[in-house]
Amino acid sequence: MIMFSRRAVLAGAIALAGCQRSPKAPAAAASRPHPAESLAFWGLEAGDTVVEFWPGAGWYSEILAPFLNATGGKLVAAHMQLSEPVDPAAAQVVEAYRARFAAGRKPYGAVEITAFGPTSGPVAPAGSADLVLFLRNLHNWMAAGIAEKAFRDAFLALKPGGVLGVEEHRAAPGGVPDLLADSGYVDQAYAIKLGQEAGFRLAGTSEINANPNDTRDHPFGVWTLPPVRRSSPRGEAFDPKFDRARYDAIGESDRMTLKFVKPA
């Protein structure tokens, strides 16, 4: 097998993704945290098997899929479990992702799509993954009561010595953890506790995705900030009178970046 340096691995991943970005991606990337640095911190390597939980529309998949396809690796997308009754919005997201990434078209290759949710089975065969990624979804799973299951399912999927990478909106330190994460922000110590209770060892933390300008006191939670830019309560129409200047100036949220390892 051809060996790649870490720098070449990440340069190739970002370069391959650059030509594949959706039309909205460049604007989002201007204020989005740092995927290359994050993937380096988590230890992405050529030929890895990577499981991305709830990949949404595929922002990170656009980086991971071409790179893994080109280097003999594999991307598994553990997308939202569609249980009865099916949420039409969730179904639309999953089907759009499937149409884009599961067909085997260049440069993505055939991304394997599984499911994660309250009653889902294994996201990947036990002990098959080199890297599992939780990318700004822990707050959703806390609200749904399935955060502990997410860590357990990740632990099962990883090889001994494999890595779980977590990026999540970070609550102000020192407060009482909001176990439902209503604002979208998660206490870092609580996130670490969840990982350790599932059997992981915390291997490191990073400030790669920190934003000291984030005051966290936004009227519509973290979703007030880019890229969502909410101007009214969830489910209500956009409010054209809402003054966005302060929140757009903050940029994206302050985020923790955690690296867990499954003990060998």
Please name every residue paired with 9 in a beta bridge, in sequence order, or none if there are none: none
Q: pLDDT-derived band of residue 97, with 50, 70 and 90 as boundaries?
A: very high
pLDDT the model gives residue 215: 96
Identify whether 170 is part of a domain.
yes
Identify whether 244 is part of a domain.
yes
Q: What is the arithmetic mean of pLDDT over 200-216?
A: 97
pLDDT the model gives residue 29: 43
- The answer to whether the predicted template modeling score (pTM) of the entire model surpasses 0.85 is yes
CATH number for 143? 3.40.50.150
Tell me the C-alpha distance between 187 and 144, whole Å: 17
Identify whether 168 is part of a domain.
yes
Tell me the C-alpha distance between 113 and 94, whole Å: 9
pLDDT the model gives residue 11: 63
Residues 167-198 pLDDT 10s: 999 999 988 999 999 999 999 999 999 999 99
Segment 224-229 long-range contacts (CB within 8 Å, at least 24 positions apart): 225/250, 225/251, 225/252, 225/253, 226/28, 226/31, 226/251, 226/252, 227/28, 227/31, 227/32, 227/252
pLDDT over 70 (residue 204): yes
Tell me the C-alpha distance between 197 and 152, whole Å: 9
If one counts the domains in the chain, the total is 1
pLDDT the model gives residue 84: 77
pLDDT the model gives residue 5: 56
Tell me the C-alpha distance between 104 and 99, whole Å: 10
Please name every residue paired with 75 in a beta bridge, in sequence order, or none if there are none: 50
pLDDT the model gives residue 2: 41
Residues 12-50 pLDDT 10s: 556 555 544 544 444 444 456 689 999 999 999 999 999
pLDDT over 50 (residue 161): yes
Which residues, 6+ apart, have CB-to-CB distance to 89 below 8 Å?
Answer: none
How many residues in the chain? 264
Identify whether 1 is part of a domain.
no
- The range of the structural domain enclosing residue 219 comes to 6-261
Identify whether 219 is part of a domain.
yes
Tell me the C-alpha distance between 42 and 11, whole Å: 15
pLDDT the model gives residue 175: 86
pLDDT over 80 (residue 98): yes
Phi, psi dihedral angles at 249 (to 5 degrees): -70, -30
C-beta of residue 225 within 8 angstroms of C-beta of residue 182: no
Instruction: Give, in order, the Cα–Cα distances in Å from 83 to each of 80, 91, 118.
Output: 9, 10, 9
Say how far residue 208 (Cα) sits from the centre of its chain.
Answer: 15
Tell me the C-alpha distance between 62 and 13, whole Å: 9
C-beta of residue 67 within 8 angstroms of C-beta of residue 73: yes
Q: What is the arithmetic mean of pLDDT over 128-132?
A: 98
Identify whether 23 is part of a domain.
yes
pLDDT the model gives residue 30: 45
Residues 49-79 pLDDT 10s: 999 999 999 999 999 999 999 999 999 999 9
Percent of the chain surpassing pLDDT 70:
88
Phi, psi dihedral angles at 112 (to 5 degrees): -80, 130
For residue 86, what is the DSSP state? P
Tell me the C-alpha distance between 25 and 18, whole Å: 10
> What DSSP line would sit under 128-175, residue for residue?
-EEEEEEES-HHHHHHHT-HHHHHHHHHHHEEEEEEEEEEEEBPPTTS
Identify whether 189 is part of a domain.
yes
